[in-house]
Structures are given as C-alpha cells and as structure tokens.
Structure 1
Amino acid sequence: MNEQQRKQMSQIREANPADVKSDQDNLSRIKEKKSEDFIKYFETSYQPPSLKDAKKRGKEDVEVHYDFTIPEEMIGLGSGKKFMIRTYGCQMNEHDTEIMAGILEEMGYVSTNETKEADIILLNTCAIRENAENKVFGEIGHLKPLKTENPDLIIGVCGCMSQEESVVNRILQKHQFVDLIFGTHNIHRLPQLVKEAMFGKEMVVEVWSKEGDIIENLPRSRKGKIKAWVNIMYGCDKFCTYCIVPYTRGKERSRLPEDIIQEVRHLAAQGYKEITLLGQNVNAYGKDLDMDYGLGDLMNDIHKIDIPRVRFTTSHPRDFDDRLIEVLAQGGNLLDHIHLPVQSGSSDVLKIMARKYTRESYLELVDKIRTAMPNATLTTDIIVGFPNETDEQFEETLSLVEEVGFEAAYTFIYSPREGTPAARMKDNVPMEVKKERLQRLNELVNKQSAEAMKKYEGQIVDVLVEGESKKNPDVLAGYTERNKLVNFIGPKSAIGEIVKVKINNAKTWSLDGEMVEEAAEVN
C-alpha cells in the first residue's frame, strides 16, 4: 500500500470503526471509491483530444522558450527509482524518448530494461498504421499483471496515439489501470504529470489538440556519443489524405537557426561523428519563419561545422528545392544518401493522396539530384492497395521503382486511420490483391538492393562503427556514408570511430568485410 492508501484507510477507520475487518477490506473500499471518482471525472471533466480542432491552423505566433527547469520539489522525486520507456515508430519518437529520459533522469530516476524493476513505464506510441496501435494495446494488456502486483507502478501512454480521441476513450473505458496519458505537445510538462499520477486519485489525462510552443533547453539522454538526432522543426502542414501525422504532431513550427547550429556545435565538441536533422517534413524547414532561410541555408551553415557526417529525414518531394540540391552537391560532411518518399508511381493515385506532385515532377526532381550528385543513393516509402488502386496504377509504381533505381524502400499495405479523408473512401481492393502487390513490389526492391550491394564487393569503404553485431558479439557493425550496413571483424576499440573496411561479400541488405588501412574509394 502507498501512503495515499494508508491515509484513506485511516479515514475509513475513523468514520466506520465497527465495519473495519481488515486492511484488505479497506483496500477494496478504496478501489471502489477510486472507480466511482473515475466515472464522475470521465463524465464531467475529461476533454478528449479532437482531430477536428487539431486541423484548425491558428495564425497565432509560436513562442520560443528557453526557461525550462525541473521544479525544485520534483528534482529528487525519482531518487532510488527506475523508469522504462518503450518506443514505437519513427525517429521523431526516438528523439522524444531521449527528452523524456533526460527529464526523468534529472528528477532522480535511472533507466532500466527490466519491466519488473521499473517504477514508471511509458509507452511512446506511433499512430501511423493500425498494426502499430494493435501492438501498443497488446503491450498495455501485458502490463496489467505488473500493476496488480505493484499498485505504486505508474503506467503511462504518450506519443501520437495519445493525440487520437478514439484511443484515449478506449484506454479510459477499458484500461483504467493506466495512470497517465499525455500527447506530443506537452512533453515538457512530464515532471508535473508524473507528480499528479503519483499523488492524485484519478487517471491523469493531458492531451492538447492545438500544438504548443517550442521549448529549447529540454534535457536529453542520448545513447552513446556516436550518432545523434537533432530536431529542426515540428509538425506537418501537408495533410496527405491517408496520414494522421498532421493531426497528432500539429502545424509546422521551425526552430531558430541559431539554436540548431548551437546544438550541432555542442555535439561536435562532444565528439559525435554523425547527426541526423529531423522533421516530419524536414525540407519545409524555415517556411514559417519571418526570414528568407530554408533547409539548404541551414545545411550550408552546418557544412562548416567540424562533424564528419550530416544527414536529414524525412523529405517531401514538393519541398525539395534547387537550393538544397546545390548545397548537398558540395559533398564533404553532407551525405548524398537521400530518403525521398514517393508513395505511388501513379499521378492519379498521388492526386487522391493529396501529395501535390505528379509522377513526372517526381522523376524531374530525381533527374536534378542525379545530375548534381551522380552517385547519390535514393531510398523511398511506398504504399500499395490505396483505396481503388487499379492494376495499371500499381504497374506504374513498379515501373517508377525500376526507373529511379531505389536501393531500398519501406513498403506498406494501406492502413486506414480514423479521422483522415482516405478512411472515408470506398476501398474495393481485396486484401489478397494488396498482399500480392506488396510481394511483387518487395521482390523488385530486394532485387535492386542486391544489385546495388554487389557493386561494393572488392571496394574499400568508410564505416562508422556503432557497436557489436546483433547476431554475433565477435563481429562489429556500422554504416557507410550511403547508409549500407557493414559487418566485419575488428577490435572493440574501433567502436565509435570511422574505419576503413574492404568488402568481401555482398548480401541483399548488408555487406561483410575486413578492416584495412588503405584509403577508401567508394562509400
């Protein structure tokens, strides 16, 4: 029993001394009272997140704050306690997890990978596909016995799923053992939310439909000092008909250039070898700022910083402009591996998706990139089985994949997301057809990847060594400049360094090699 329950028991004893039989009876009364309080709260106080409100783009200025601090009374709140954060989805969620971990560590908590050791378990969720949501709800169910064993355990659900009204209502109605729900816009309020969850009677729900401001000096707990995410903007204004992200992440808000550059310089001084600039639509950076300064200009300034590798993700073809191509063509620490989601090779499907470009304009952009950077590696995202996609339209996707020569692709069967326009469209594509199309697409992508990898055999490449191979601790693993996974035998002292590896064997998705001393020729 926690301190709050003991106080409630004392009140029960004073009010009804003749009825007190045992502490277990009293604990049952507390649980019943908590359930009554919860129902009253749910009926009178709870305000769910609204996708409709989230789509309303206010014209109010976004403020930048530099005054984040952990309230003094919360700094030692986690002393002697442990936390676990399980992260689902994209790099943005990984970045958010680093911030939440940083906040909890400043409150005195330490990280653990063991669920039974944790005093706080947070599920940082993804809403991009139905399968991702199903995994999270399955995990919530698995955590219930832990809560039964340890009533003081705080279980929280955060991230993009928390921004969906249907998800929050489902948790409120079916998973009342969850203590805390918060969204993507109020991560900086985590100390206050944890305190409320520890000492309050009801489930703590704080989800903002409208996005918040930019909070600059949030702590981060990054893993190692090799690679780092650097968020340069938040949100997306594109509203592709299939995508829930603009609703869960809000409108586009760019960080100020000087704040980003200062963070990158700090990472370089700490010895990081690679940074990835992050944004839901990263090459829309700066369009909301009152200045003529875009992603190309930012990359040009970062190009001058002494850090070996700089990447960015994820791009939208509509915003990939000539200035960015010009800057990337300088090379150096600006890498020419470009992830450029196309989603479909059919202009008709792209129009229904509201992607705002055509097959032809996408290919023109690819030609511009290839002209400026002949050796650039292109990867992409593709959806098959979009509502009413025809066989002919799918064939257009296959032909575009071949024409561009993508060396890798994230491929998906369309998954309707509640609240998006596409979810209301009639879908006459049978699931067996969707699966057959996905299989054909994957066979083509695998073939192209294997052919691209084969060219590396006998070459010497620069590899940023990240650590031991997941399959064999005696083998080291790292990535080339063009994001190819390399496994090789080498000393543990190479971890965190950029070393030269001769490629002896190419597989579909990875390369095997041996460490050498010669100058690198191909990356």
Structure 2
Amino acid sequence: MLNDSTFCITTFGCQMNKHDTERIAGTLESLGSVRVDDNADADFSIFLTCCVREKADERLRGQVASMKNDPVRPGSPYGHRYVCIGGCIGQRDGEKIFKDLSNVDVVFGTHNMQALPHLLEEAIDSGEHRVEVVDGRAEFHDELPEDREHPWAAWLPITVGCNNFCSYCIVPYVRGREISRPIEEIADAAKAYVQQGVREISLLGQNVNSYGRDLYGEPRFAAVLDAVAASGVDRIRFFTSHPKDLTDEVIDRFATLPNLMPALHLAVQSGSNRVLSAMNRRYTVEHYLELVDKVRAARPDIALSTDLIVGFPGETEEDFLATKRLVETVGYSQVFTFIYSKRAGTPAAAIEDDAPHEVIQDRFDRLVDVVQKGAWAFNQHDLGATVPVLIEGTSKRDAAMVAGKSPKNQTVHARLPQGCSLDDLIGRIVDVRIDEARTWYLKGTLL
C-alpha cells in the first residue's frame, strides 16, 4: 500500500533523533516509499520531535498547524497528506495531540518506530487517525534498516533511555530506563560499517559513560571504545557524557586510542554547587574540574564542549557568576547555552521562581559573550597548523568552498582547488593548512 508513495521527515532535537530518522527512512524505503526534501511533495509528512525545551514544542505545533490547508501533492494516490508525529512529544502526549492538531493522522512513540508503516496503512484504510504509544521495552532493539545521511559517517547507538532523573529533564520519562546493547553486537556493527566505507562512527546514548551497568553490573564503556577502535575505523566520537560516570579508564582511552577523536562533550549545566544539587546532577564543581584536569593530562589538545542552563529556578546572581567563572576557567571550544524551560512532570517544574525574565535574559546574554570569546581564543591555537579534515560537502557560506570537520570537531572551510570536483573530496580525510581562525570555524588551504 505504501509503494510509490513519498515521505518527508522533519527532525528536531538530539543525535538519537537523527539516528531514528535514518531508521524510519530506511524502513519506509524498504516498502517502496521515496524520500523527498519538501513536505509539499510528500504523501506522508513525518515529524520526529523533541520535548526537552518549550521552543521545540512551539516549533512543531506551528509547523504542523500551518500545513492544515496545504494542497495535496499533484499525483498523490491518496488524495490526502498524512501527518505523523513521533519521537518524544509523541511518546509524552499520545492521543492528546489530536485535540490540539486536528490535521495529525498518526502518532507513535520512541519505543515503537517500527509500527509506523502499519499505523499509516490503518489510517489510509479507515480514514481515521491512529495512535500507538508503548511504555517501554525490556531489551535493546536496533534491527530496522537505515538510510544514512552520509555514506562515510554512521550513528551507532549503544544505549537507549536514561536513569539519571535530573530534576529539570523530561528524557527519562519519554525515552524510558537505560538499556544497553551487548558489546558483541556493537563490535559487529562497527566492523560492518567499516566494510561499507564508513570513516567516522559516533557512539550514541543519553549517558554513554554508564553503558553496561544493566548488563554487566558495572559500567563498561571503556571496553566499548576498545571494541570499536579495533574495527579500524578512522574516527570515533561519542555523545553524551555525564560527569558523574566518567571513569579514569575512559579518560585513559583518549591517550591510548589513536582513532578516538580529541573532543569531549561533558555537560556541566551550572557552575554553582547549590544549583547542581537542586538539579540532581550528583557531582560538584570541584569534581568536574578534576575531571577536566585528568582529561587534559591524557590529551592536552582536547576540545571540551558543554551544556549550560541559565535561569534554573532559584538561581541567584552569585550562582550565575559561578557559572561564568567556570566557563572562563575551563576554556571550552563550544558551549550550548539554554534558558531554563519548565517541563511539566519534572521535579523542577514544581519549584517556585519569581526571577524576572529580563534578569535571566541579561545573564544569558552576558554568558554568551564569555562563551564567544572563549571559542575564539580556543580556535587561535590552530592558526598556522595543518589539520586533517573529513570533507562533508560544500560550505554554506560559499559554494566554491568545501567544508568538513577537524578531529576536534571544528568546522573547517577550504577553497575547492582548480580542476578538482567535490566528488573527488567528499567523504575523504584531507590536510588543510589553517590560515584564518574565527569564533565558530576555521578557514584554510587544501594541501
């Protein structure tokens, strides 16, 4: 029934959602549906959603509501565009979505993406909406086919779910409890990717550092890194790390595994111990800085990135200044800054806070200024250096230039040499001499 149909996927949120997008695309393509880039050309408009912050909620509802009166694509065999909502908002809201967005036809959750084809077929047959959301699963599943965004790069999930229950975070409620994938399966998947020509593997989990506690009784993420490194892949990255579970064994791998890239995202969220306690983060600023020292001792050139929340309920000016000092002390390559977003059902949502929006916005702006100065200073270290860059495509700034990622996950631009085509370079790792270092990118010459 789905043969010769078309679909478009709009993805919000984290890397796990990006991987889920590849799996849904692979599933629908295996049934004869064709992926398109524009909802106007799609029979099935699929939204993979995030509910970590309110803005993602608002963007989804705005986009879906705006499609209500859009014409059906010319030549559609259905006479109707089917709107499907999955991911974290689908898991959280389920049937309630239809009350707010009457043009939605199918809702599914984070644990049952494989149900989308039959839900679509039932909606087409019946002319009525369909919803299927399940509470969780007992074991790891990653058996769906994939349509990867890039043939040279692969997401490799090693855990799903989260056991941390940070007081502000909705993820454990919509992604479920943590489930690890057996190391043997991870190693086999990595080997298969390398045989397919993958140059970079990114390991995924809400908290990769606690990998294996459910299977083996203790975290074994260092063993995962060893197994994936043994596949021979050129580059390994991982997302995301919780500081309370970062072990000395994992830190040591930055010194001993040459294909583990010198980049670590270590989300701190706040520089105030009082706020960290209220967030239920279960570490202190002092412990976090000890980890930073250990990581830099293992890999002096490592790029550290982090997440920070401004305006957590009860945050004082003193708390904010502690966060600002932390950023200045660590010297991050990149910081993702967010204004606190209240999420119904989380413990933090019940905390009363009367801080004026203007005060929070002012703190946010002051923090962004420090972050930008730090990112600029970090990039200056590579000025004049020769950097190996995995070419991903053309630059968004200039179609005559190629763009890719350095080992430290910096975006690097370089002019396409005369007589050389993008096809000659895309998916290859090439040397670039850095001639210019800006806040958010490097620019250089292909060697």
> Hey, what does 1:352 align to over in structure 2?
278
> Hey, what does 1:236 align to over in structure 2?
162
> Hey, what does 1:101 align to over in structure 2?
25
Tell me which of 117, 137, 148 is aligned to 1:222.
148
> Hey, what does 2:87 align to over in structure 1?
159
Structure 1 residues 353 and 262, CA gap change in structure 2 (3 angstroms) = same
Answer yes or no: is the 8 Å Cα contact 2:108–2:115 preserved in 1: no
TM-score (norm 2): 0.95
Task: Please give the alpha-carbon distance, in whole angstroms, between the structure 2 residues aligned to 1:251 and 1:405.
Answer: 33
Task: Please give the alpha-carbon distance, in whole angstroms, between the structure 2 residues aligned to 1:468 and 1:205.
Answer: 40
> Hey, what does 1:496 align to over in structure 2?
427
Answer yes or no: is the 8 Å Cα contact 2:140–2:159 preserved in 1: no
> Hey, what does 1:252 align to over in structure 2?
178
Task: Please give the alpha-carbon distance, in whole angstroms, between the structure 2 residues aligned to 1:429 and 1:180.
Answer: 40
Answer yes or no: is the 8 Å Cα contact 1:296–1:323 preserved in 2: yes
Task: Please give the alpha-carbon distance, in whole angstroms, between the structure 2 residues aligned to 1:218 and 1:477.
Answer: 31
Tell me which of 371, 377, 385 is aligned to 2:311.
385
CA displacement at 1:208 relative to structure 2: 1.6
- SS for the counterpart of 2:281 is coil
CA displacement at 1:175 relative to structure 2: 2.0
Tell me which of 87, 101, 111 is aligned to 2:11.
87
- SS for the counterpart of 2:148 is coil
* Runs of 4+ off more than 6 Å: 147-150
Task: Please give the alpha-carbon distance, in whole angstroms, between the structure 2 residues aligned to 1:292 and 1:425.
Answer: 34
Answer yes or no: is the 8 Å Cα contact 1:278–1:314 preserved in 2: yes
| Structure with max Cα Rg | 1
1:427-466 Cα offsets, whole Å, 9 max, x none, are 1221111111111111111001111112211111100000
Task: Please give the alpha-carbon distance, in whole angstroms, between the structure 2 residues aligned to 1:216 and 1:229.
Answer: 11
Answer yes or no: is the 8 Å Cα contact 2:65–2:103 preserved in 1: no
Q: What letter is aligned with 2:88?
A: C
Task: Please give the alpha-carbon distance, in whole angstroms, between the structure 2 residues aligned to 1:148 and 1:223.
Answer: 27
1:20-50 Cα offsets, whole Å, 9 max, x none, are xxxxxxxxxxxxxxxxxxxxxxxxxxxxxxx
> Hey, what does 2:197 align to over in structure 1?
271
- SS for the counterpart of 1:329 is helix
1:336-415 matches, within 5 Å, as 336-415=262-341
Task: Please give the alpha-carbon distance, in whole angstroms, between the structure 2 residues aligned to 1:126 and 1:151.
Answer: 29
CA displacement at 1:261 relative to structure 2: 0.9
Task: Please give the alpha-carbon distance, in whole angstroms, between the structure 1 residues aligned to 2:326 and 2:218.
Answer: 34
Q: What letter is aligned with 2:264?
A: I
Task: Please give the alpha-carbon distance, in whole angstroms, between the structure 1 residues aligned to 2:86 and 2:313.
Answer: 30
1:44-55 matches, within 5 Å, as none
Q: How many residues align?
A: 438
> Hey, what does 2:255 align to over in structure 1?
329
Answer yes or no: is the 8 Å Cα contact 2:209–2:219 preserved in 1: no
- SS for the counterpart of 1:398 is helix
CA displacement at 1:291 relative to structure 2: 5.7
CA displacement at 1:140 relative to structure 2: 0.8
TM-score (norm 1): 0.82
Structure 1 residues 138 and 472, CA gap change in structure 2 (3 angstroms) = same
Structure 2: gaps spanning 5 or more residues: none
CA displacement at 1:502 relative to structure 2: 0.6
> Hey, what does 1:508 align to over in structure 2?
439
CA displacement at 1:293 relative to structure 2: 5.9
Kindly indicate whether residue 239 of structure 2 is the aligned counterpart of residue 313 of structure 1: yes
Task: Please give the alpha-carbon distance, in whole angstroms, between the structure 2 residues aligned to 1:174 and 1:313.
Answer: 34
Q: What letter is aligned with 1:499?
A: V
- SS for the counterpart of 2:233 is coil
Tell me which of 9, 31, 37 is aligned to 1:113.
37
CA displacement at 1:272 relative to structure 2: 1.0
Kindly indicate whether residue 398 of structure 2 is the aligned counterpart of residue 467 of structure 1: no
Task: Please give the alpha-carbon distance, in whole angstroms, between the structure 2 residues aligned to 1:414 and 1:372.
Answer: 33
Task: Please give the alpha-carbon distance, in whole angstroms, between the structure 2 residues aligned to 1:172 and 1:507.
Answer: 46
Task: Please give the alpha-carbon distance, in whole angstroms, between the structure 2 residues aligned to 1:214 and 1:501.
Answer: 40
Please give the root-mean-square deviation of Cα atoms over the aligned residues, in Å: 1.5
**Greater displacement, 207-216 / 239-248:** 207-216
> Hey, what does 2:114 align to over in structure 1?
188
Answer yes or no: is the 8 Å Cα contact 1:211–1:249 preserved in 2: no
Task: Please give the alpha-carbon distance, in whole angstroms, between the structure 2 residues aligned to 1:315 and 1:256.
Answer: 19
